[in-house]
Structure 1
């Protein structure tokens, strides 16, 4: 069985501009150099030229020849290179939802379940996304009590749309919303607040205290529409079991059609790498 279906290869042709035998802006020399430096692979090996010697044909043959983890590493490395090129040129992406389409291919290569693949597809149901985004935009114009219930409904719809149905329904309690959901093998408690001021260290410690009273594998997602103070994040420290999102994260995620599950994956990974609970979506997914 091949690594990549013909229909997925069409996506890669679009994303990596592989028409006419080319791949992005690579010359033969820089193509070989990229594979050697980034992946420690000799792309000029004759085994990858069985269907032709152009860069596009060698890449297609390579992706169908090597093991699946290598395919995934290659696609991610090519995406990083593609985005670096585009950012340097200051150009908008000509391919609609390029990153989301690439992630769908990667999910299938990795053998994710049909449900996981469906989650990505649901995330790009544009009418549903537009409705959820509209709910977020209108929240700020509501009175506090109505806004709290509307924020609760927004979160329910957001998590359900991404296949992350809450284990315990989101419930409005005073000015905060509590709930929980399963993500991967971890259980996450959720605290969401819509205040006029950023959350400080006291709120972060209070939420982390709730998590520490639960099982050792419990994690936390703190959603604060107004964000978090820099001093509070510094005082809260690193290496905690909490990741954070603010209102800009929510809006940018919906506006750029980045699936919530991918945002959570990237935030969890960056928290593990840096110890920081809050890395903004625009820094995790640069334009």
Structure 2
């Protein structure tokens, strides 16, 4: 594929798109560069496909200029532009990035109930609150079909649960404490993620948020996204799809490297 070596292909995706193309999920139909690229393009959103194709087109143009070769593909630029136009037209029919997809009608009674449950958790003692909060989160993920598992214990560590977002498995850390979460807890959780499969991701929920210094010290480019208590309240109060919130947090983290982007900054309402 062009003049990419395996390492160069991985570096291109990492630098241009902040994506690890060597992840196992992209190789389900074969490990060659072409098959991984094809699978990636077939499963990403239209905007990401356009960004990927544009970056590859620029690289291809430079490659042909360096090699001095004639383009082996007839009418390639017109075909390329036509493909981008089709993708752009498809994307235009979808919801705009700053619009909210409302929670499904069939779930609104459940959403109202779980919103009440969240308010009731605040009145419990600290020990009871922790268990009730984990139960609340499992119910929340179940409402949105995220295949949640309750908390489980591995040798030497406690995981507060897991869920499925698209094709990705996320481990969960949930803290209801009196002060914002700092860098130490973030690093501990990220350490747990790094000990799991390469495709594992993490969601850290801290009801009282995160310290600004902690987020800065934690750094960018981690396999963790973050959510606070206000995020949870606004998801329920504004009836925003939890899946949509998580997808936008993941995308913004991929674009900026920042693990915590507030719901209010992802949507306009």
The two structures have a TM-score, normalised by structure 1, of 0.59
Distance 1:69 1:252 in 2: 31
Alpha carbons 2:101, 2:244 under 8 Å: kept: no
Q: 1:68 to 1:243 in 2, by over 3 A?
A: same
> Structure 1 residue 127: deviation in Å?
1.1
1:169 correspondence with 2:170 = no
> Structure 1 residue 67: deviation in Å?
5.1
Structure-2 residue corresponding to 1:217: 199
Distance 2:262 2:173 in 1: 18
1:149 correspondence with 2:150 = no
> Structure 1 residue 218: deviation in Å?
0.8
1:73 correspondence with 2:92 = yes
1:244 correspondence with 2:263 = no
1:227 correspondence with 2:228 = no
> Structure 1 residue 185: deviation in Å?
1.6
Distance 1:144 1:225 in 2: 13
Match of 2:104 among 117, 121, 124: 121
Count residues with an aligned counterpart.
182
Alpha carbons 1:155, 1:170 under 8 Å: kept: no
RMSD: 2.3
Alpha carbons 2:170, 2:203 under 8 Å: kept: yes
> Structure 1 residue 170: deviation in Å?
2.8
Instruction: Give 1:26-65 correspondences, 5 Å limit.
Output: none
- 1:182 is paired with a residue of what secondary structure? strand
Match of 2:122 among 132, 140, 149: 140
Structure-1 residue corresponding to 2:29: none
Distance 1:153 1:74 in 2: 38
Structure-2 residue corresponding to 1:182: 164
Distance 2:151 2:242 in 1: 17
- 2:177 is paired with a residue of what secondary structure? coil
Structure 2: runs of 5+ lacking an equivalent: 1-84
Structure 1: runs of 5+ lacking an equivalent: 1-65, 84-98, 102-119
- 1:169 is paired with a residue of what secondary structure? coil
Distance 1:165 1:196 in 2: 30
The two structures have a TM-score, normalised by structure 2, of 0.62
Q: Deviations over 1:98-134 (max 9, x none)?
A: x325xxxxxxxxxxxxxxxxxx636x62211011111
